Amino acid sequence: MHYLKYFILFIFSSYLFFNSCDVIDEPFKDNTFIPIDTSSTIIGDTLVQTERAVIVEDFTGHRCKNCPKASKAIRELDSLFGSKLVPLAIHAGPSNFTGVNNDYPIDFTTQEGDDIATHFGIFALPMGLVQRLDYPDSHQKTYSAWSALTFLELAESPEALFSLNAKYDSLSRTAVLNYSVELSSNQTNPLWIAVYIKESEIIAPQLMPNNARNETYIHKNVFRNAPLGPLGNLISQNGGEVGQIFNGSITSNLDPLWNAKECEWVILLYDKSNYKVIQPGSTLVYP
Amino acid sequence: MRLILFIFTLCIPFIGVAQQQKIRAIIQSDAQWYLRDEILDPSGEYFPNERLLGQGFALFTYTDGDFQAGMRYENYQNVMLGFPTGYRGEGITYRYARVRKENWDITVGNFYEQFGSGLIFRSYEERGLGLDNAMDGFRIITKLNGGIKIKGVLGRQRKYFTKSEGVVRGADIEWSANELIPALGKKGVFFSTGASFVSKFQRGFDPILNLPQNVGAFAFRTNLNFKGVNWGTEWAYKINDPSYDNGYIYRPGNGLVSTISYSKKGLGILASIKRIDNMSFRSDRNGQQFDLFINFLPPTSEPHTYALVALYPYATQINGEIGGQFEINYMVPRGSPLGGKYGTKLSINSALSNSIDKSVLADGTRGQKGTQGYISEYFKFGPTIYFRDLNGSISHKFSKKHKSQISFFRLKYNKTVLNDGVGDITLLENPGMDSVITINAIVLENQFKLSNGQTIRNELQWSIADGFRGDMAMALIEWTINHDLTLAIQDIYNYGHPTPSRRIHYPIVSLIHFNGPTRVQVGYGRQQQGVFCVGGVCRVVPPSNGLSISLTTSL
């Protein structure tokens, strides 16, 4: 028994020492990911998706000093994955991060954005959802986890693909999105469509990680409104089969303060039973 | 879980059959009814929608000779302000079965454990913080001949109502020389030494980085005690562990804590040094706040209990700090001019903490993701002052019924780092942007025993700060009416706050009732926004106003 104890100890220690340390000599991967955007093609004036896409919803605020770090993470993902990534920056959450004052005079918050944040229980900023995975227990993801989750999601086969056609009347500032989504996998749960409009290249102050105020910060992917409401509409109560196609059209009037040329439609097909996004898509409002 | 419930069910019919069988319960319940306070929180951003928040737990332990089993039920409806909001809902969060027989101690299920001072492994619960990183797995402890004790652990850590994705496994060996060489004890020498190894596994998916999936850390420690002198030292090393905390750098981490103390009747001296370099160690590399820490970095500053000084607590800087602490306690003998009839206690304590040296790499970068991060000279101080503390006290008993203590404090508190959470790398890139506040404070405490057995204790506190919260004064009176009942009234007046609208009072009234093992506390008043720390680990406390009730009992 005496020697057995020492023997077990020796075996256990050897295992721990030799198998429990991965010393990395080269932190960066050799085959550096070079983005080749094959996620969609343009046929006439219609964008036709050919690959799976991932939506990253970044709950943010202009008075949140750590939020630019999350925006930077989005930019890194954007450079890697191109249009396979659908980023959306929702200014919502605690008012000390999103509220307006003399230094931060532009109100980026919206009622629909607040409703989305409330629905997903956003309690701190920056915080994100990746494809709305893992609802309701661990769906809130910190930005350091976004790249790995996006990478994993994109490795999956597409479950549905959008064809998107946008029209815009600059006189009436009326935007129309015609969509068609074809299922690539069988779905058994209720399917919903949510549609949002976002705007980029907005220059406005932002509190930075060093506590400085950046007056000329460029805000990207700012959530503007949700023409079908924060959670959208039902399109099929019983899911659908491979090859089944759902069509629809959404109209929205753009606010006069929004730059139509920097606005994009964002559309999500999701499984209402767990809110997991089956496929997101995006296209310019003013093609 | 089912196994443990099954064991419980089997055991219950036999309770009371033998005297060695015992079942115990500890129950605690806290609730607060929040009131809207437009002076304290003008925009209402901290005011909860629920109005009433409550949380509690019940821990049941069953013991039968060598066998022990237990479970803890927790309930958060919803979690109270300031605690991590991940605690939401209810459930059995802790359950275990344990057998201790001869030289073996085996636990399955949840357990808490610590190797050495915790530099590479400490699984513990601190309910006041909302911190619980209990392991769920398997633990074995055995004693060998010659004073050798071995521990092995394997499992995953608790994260609110779920568990970490990462697996933690570790082993610790400790040798007590006195068991092998009893003659040492006869000469007053007590020596022990130990070593530990801990490794975590977490899958690594990243499109850019090669992430280490297995991250190991090891530590060595010694402790020597001889004629009142005790010297304990622990040194730890961790291999590359890119994480959210360190900005995904690949620099190995290391830590050193060494404490020497001397004590004899009426005199105690303590000196300690600490250097921490990139020693955040979590079972989830993306973890934040105090989620899923595998290790514990002990603080080397005195935790203050007086309210005004406690508003400036020190939080251990896991990415790097260097500092130390020195303390002397001396009891002036009775009968001497200063000692008087009952003796006088003098105490002086000082602590300092700075950033460590973090020079740029050969390529001119510092702290960049995917690099070695920085170069650091081991004993060189960095430019950022984190914390300074010089405090002292004189405690004198004037009579059997009256004793007093006067304390003074001088703190330097880096608000940017300790309150706002800005890291030292950011400060190095933006020199001069941090705000170091100087606080001077004095506290007078008196305690009087009244002839009817009652006790009156009062505190008068005054602090002056050159920014941040500004100047404050506080008065407290605590009346112990009898053994069962205590009434306390206090008010903090933040008369010197830099913002005039924040120059307000923070009154609190509380009544505490004891009945055997039961304690009930009812309080009403304003809670100031701040940071609450235990053992150098801190959480933010939001401002609030309301009625709180707390019940603790054991059966």
pLDDT band at B1 (very low <50, low <70, confident <90, very high): very low
Lowest mean pLDDT among A89-93, A194-198, B288-292, B455-459: B288-292
State the pLDDT at residue A31: 52
List residues bridging with A270 in a β-sheet: A192, A277
| CB proximity under 8 Å: B 290-319 to A | none
Q: What is the pLDDT of residues A131-178, one digit of tens each?
A: 999 888 788 888 888 888 898 898 889 999 999 999 999 888 999 999
Q: Where are the beta strands (DSSP E) in B374-529?
A: 381-399, 402-414, 436-449, 455-465, 472-482, 485-493, 505-515, 518-527
Mind telling me how many Å the CA of B337 is from chain A's nearest CA? 55
Residue with the bigger pLDDT between A88 and A4: it is A88
Residue A47 lies in a domain: no
CB B533 within 8 A of CB B6: no
Do B34 and B47 form a contact (C-beta atoms < 8 A)? Answer: yes
Hey, which residues 11-70 in chain A have their CB within 8 Å of chain B? 12-13, 16-17, 19-24, 26-29, 32-33, 65
* Side chain identity at residue B125, one-letter code: E
- Per CB-CB distance under 8 Å, the chain B contacts of A121 are 85
* pLDDT value at B469 more than 60: yes
For the segment B86-124, what is each residue's pLDDT rounded down to a tens digit?
A: 888 899 999 999 999 989 999 999 999 999 999 999 999
Put simply, whether B213 touches A (Cβ < 8 Å) is: yes
Q: Is the dihedral of CA B114, B115, B119, B120 positive or negative?
A: negative
How do residues B241-287 score in pLDDT, each as one tens digit? 999 899 899 999 999 999 999 999 999 999 999 999 999 999 999 88
| Burial status of residue B92 (CB atoms within 10 A of its CB: 0-12, 13-18, 19 or more) | middle
| Cβ separation B43–A96 shorter than 8 A | yes
Which residues in chain A are contacts of B145 at CB distance < 8 A? 2
A60/chain B closest Cα distance in angstroms: 16
In a domain, A252, yes or no: no
Does A116 reside within a domain? Answer: yes
Q: What is the mean predicted confidence (pLDDT) over B324-332?
A: 96
Q: DSSP states of B186-213 as a string?
A: HTTEEEEEEEEEEEEE-----SSB---S
Provide the residue ranges of all domains of chain B, joining segments of one domain with +: 1-97, 102-298, 301-555
Percent of chain A with pLDDT over 90: 58
CATH number of the domain residue A133 falls in: 3.40.30.10
Asked whether residue A25 carries a pLDDT value surpassing 90, the answer given is no
Rounded to whole angstroms, the Cα distance separating B475 from B459 reads 6
Buried b (16+ CB within 10 A) or exposed e, B472-500: bbbebebebeeeeebebbbbbbbeebeee
Q: Is residue A23 part of a domain?
A: no
- Residue A194 near residue A267, CB atoms below 8 Å: yes
A-chain residue closest to B433, CA distance: A210
Nearest-Cα distance to chain B for A30, in Å, is: 9
Q: How many CB pairs under 8 A join A and B?
A: 114
CB contact under 8 A, B286 and A22: no
Q: Is the dihedral of CA A117, A119, A120, A123 positive or negative?
A: positive
The CA angle B436-B470-B356, to the nearest 5 degrees, is: 15
Window 369-428 of B: residues touching A by CB (8 A cutoff) are: 370-371, 416, 420, 422, 426
Of B199, B240, B426, the CB nearest to A24: B240
Residue B212 contacts A, CB cutoff 8 Å: yes
Within a domain: A263: yes
- pLDDT tens across A46-87, in order? 888 989 999 999 999 999 988 998 998 898 888 888 889 999
pLDDT reading at B421 higher than 90: no
d(CA B540, CA A98): 19
- Residue A181: inside a domain, yes or no? no
A21·B239 Cβ contact <8 A: yes
What's the pLDDT score for residue B204? 83
Q: pLDDT band at B10, cuts 50/70/90?
A: very low
Tell whether the model's pLDDT for residue B481 goes beyond 60.
yes
**What's the average model confidence in pLDDT over B336-346?**
90
Closest Cβ–Cβ partner in A16, A24, A211 for B169: A16
Task: Name the minimum distance, in Å, from the CA of B115 to any CA of chain A.
Answer: 15
Closest CA of chain B from A93, distance in Å: 10
> From the candidates A21, A54, A138, which should be mutated to test the interface with B, based on the most B CB atoms within 10 A?
A21
CA A120 to chain centre: 14
pLDDT of residue B430: 81
| Closest residue on chain B to A35 (Cα) | B207
More confident residue, A30 or B452: B452
Query: For position A196, what pLDDT does the model report?
Result: 97
Where residue A30 falls among pLDDT bands split at 50, 70, 90?
low
User: For the packed helices A67-81 and A146-154, what is the interaxial angle rounded to 10 degrees?
Assistant: 30
Could you tell me if A101 lies within 8 Å of chain B, comparing CB atoms?
no
Question: Chain B within 8 Å of A111 (Cβ-Cβ)?
Answer: no
What is the DSSP code (8-state) at residue B380? P
User: How would you class B177 by CB atoms within 10 Å of its CB: exposed for 0-12, middle for 13-18, buried for 19 or more?
Assistant: middle
How many structural domains compose chain A? Answer: 1
Percent residues over pLDDT 70 in chain B = 96
The answer for B452, left when phi > 0, alpha when psi is -120 to 50, beta otherwise, is alpha
How many C-beta atoms lie closer than 10 Å to residue A139's C-beta? 20
- Mark yes or no for CB contact A21/B216 under 8 Å: yes
Residues of B in contact with A114 (CB under 8 A): none
Q: Which residue of A has its CA nearest to B169?
A: A16
- The C-alpha of B386 sits at a distance from chain A's nearest C-alpha, in angstroms, of 16
Local confidence band at B205 (pLDDT 50, 70, 90 cut-offs): confident
Q: How far is A27 from chain B (nearest CA, A)?
A: 5
Return residues 36-55 of B near A (CB < 8 Å): 43, 45
Evaluate whether residue A115 is within a structural domain: yes
- In chain A, the residue whose alpha carbon lies closest to the alpha carbon of B163 is A138
Among B171, B214, B422, beta carbon nearest to A22: B214
> With contacts defined as CB-CB under 8 Å, which chain B residues touch A12?
152, 171
Which chain B residues are closer than 8 Å to A80 by Cβ? 207-208
pLDDT, position B18? 47
Q: Which domain holds residue A76?
A: 53-157+190-238+257-284
Percent of chain B with pLDDT over 90: 72
Asked whether residue B236 carries a pLDDT value surpassing 60, the answer given is yes
* Residue A26 covered by a domain: no
Separation between Cα atoms, residue B511 and residue B527, nearest integer Å: 16
Q: Closest approach of chain A CAs to the CA of B385, in angstroms? A: 17
Query: Before A205, cis peptide (omega within 30)?
Result: no
Q: Which two tokens stand for residue B316?
A: 């251990």
Q: Which two tokens stand for residue B224?
A: 């020597």
pLDDT surpassing 80 at residue B534: no
Give B267's contacts (C-beta < 8 A, 6+ positions apart): B328, B329, B330, B331
Angle formed at CA B531 by CA B526 and CA B534, multiple of 5 degrees: 115
**Distance in angstroms (rounded) separating the CA atoms of residues A173 and B259:** 72
CA distance B321 to B299: 11
- The CATH architecture to which B102-298 belongs is Beta Barrel (2.40)
Residues whose CB falls within 8 Å of the CB of residue B224, separated by 6 or more in sequence, listed in order: B189, B190, B191, B230, B231, B232
pLDDT at A12 over 80: no
Domain B301-555 class, CATH top level: mainly beta
pLDDT score at B542: 86
Percent with pLDDT over 70 in chain A:
88
Q: Are A190 and A273 in contact (CB under 8 A)?
A: yes
Do the domains B301-555 and B102-298 match in fold?
Answer: yes
Considering A53-57, A143-147, B203-207, B332-336, the range whose residues carry the highest mean pLDDT is: A53-57
The per-residue pLDDT of chain B, averaged, comes to: 91
Distance CA B185, CA B225 (A): 10
* Subunit contact B199:A20, Cβ cutoff 8 A: yes
Measuring CA to CA, how many Å separate A43 from each of A40, A49, A50, A84? Answer: 10, 10, 12, 18
The predicted structure's pLDDT at residue B314:
92
Mutate to test the interface with B, among A210, A213, A214 (most CBs of B within 10 A): A210
pLDDT confidence tier of residue A7, bands split at 50, 70 and 90: low
- Between B419 and B273, whose confidence is greater? B273
DSSP B228: T
Residue A124 above 90 pLDDT? no
Task: State pLDDT tens for residues B36-69.
Answer: 998 888 877 788 888 999 999 999 999 999 999 9
Q: What is the pLDDT of residues B180-190, one digit of tens each?
A: 898 998 999 99
Mean pLDDT of A250-269: 94
pTM above 0.95, yes or no: no
List all residues of chain B from 136 to 175 with a beta carbon under 8 Å from chain A.
142, 144-145, 150, 152, 161-162, 169-171, 173
Q: Which residues pair with B364 in a beta bridge?
A: none
Find the length of chain B: 555
The arithmetic mean of pLDDT across residues B148-155, rounded, is 95
Using alpha carbons, select from B423, B410, B411 the residue that is nearest to residue B384.
B423
pLDDT at B379 over 50: yes
Q: Check if the interface score ipTM surpasses 0.85.
A: no
DSSP secondary structure letters along chain A: -HHHHHHHHHHHHHHHHHHS----S--B-SS-------SEEEETTEEEE-S--EEEEEEE-TT-TTHHHHHHHHHHHHHHHGGGEEEEEEE-S-HHHH---SSS------HHHHHHHHHTT--SSSEEEETTTTTTTS--B-GGGHHHHHHHHHTSPPSEEEEEEEEEETTTTEEEEEEEEEESS-B-S-EEEEEEEEE--EE--EE-TTS-EETT-EE-SEEEE-TT-TT-EEEETT-B-TT-EEEEEEEEEPPTTS-GGGEEEEEEEEETTT--EEEEEEEES--
**Distance of residue B382 Cα from the nearest chain A Cα, in angstroms:** 18
Contact call for B142 and A5, based on CB within 8 A: yes
Give the pLDDT band of residue B364 (cuts 50, 70, 90). Answer: confident
Q: What is the mean pLDDT of residues B499-519?
A: 93
Residue B14 in tokens: 């036999």
